[in-house]
Structure 1
Amino acid sequence: MPMNATDIERMIKEAIPDASVTIRDLAGDGDHYAAEIVSESFRGKSRVQQHQMVYKALQGNMGGELHALALQTSAPAS
């Protein structure tokens, strides 16, 4: 069963409490999402490290219940 956007957002915010999360369903199938995540905890980290933080927050659901997630991560503008 696919994950819904609310669950994705909740999992990210539980792991990265200060995150501002915007989720879009790209295909209308509940299986392909895009997420924009802004968090101070990303500051000074590479894009790969930022994405790893998000994947960790999803607790192994990437590739399983969550088939595709396009990520855009950043620290807040200074």
Structure 2
Amino acid sequence: MAIVVDLDLQLAKRNMSVGEFAAAVGITPANIAVLKNGRAKAVRFTTLDAICRTLGCQPGDVLRWVPDDGANDGQDGGS
């Protein structure tokens, strides 16, 4: 999966530390690191809502899709 979480950029724009952001969103700094490092398998809508509310942004400002290398546009070549 090639969903990229651009929290670093958003935090830098607002001069906000990870600890400050984590406290405002209500999740641990360790979970922020999981999101930032691309290790998250899912994000709850309530967490995404809190992120957007804290940053004053839209989900698309935080999440973006990048195609995987060798992606076959959803076609598996089978019949």
Q: Structure 1 length as normaliser, TM-score?
A: 0.30
Work out which of the two has the higher radius of gyration on C-alpha atoms and give 1 or 2: 2
Q: Which has the higher contact order (CA 8 A, sep 6+)?
A: 2
The structure where helix makes up a greater share of residues is 2
Higher strand proportion (structure 1 or 2): 1
TM-score, length of structure 2 as denominator length = 0.30
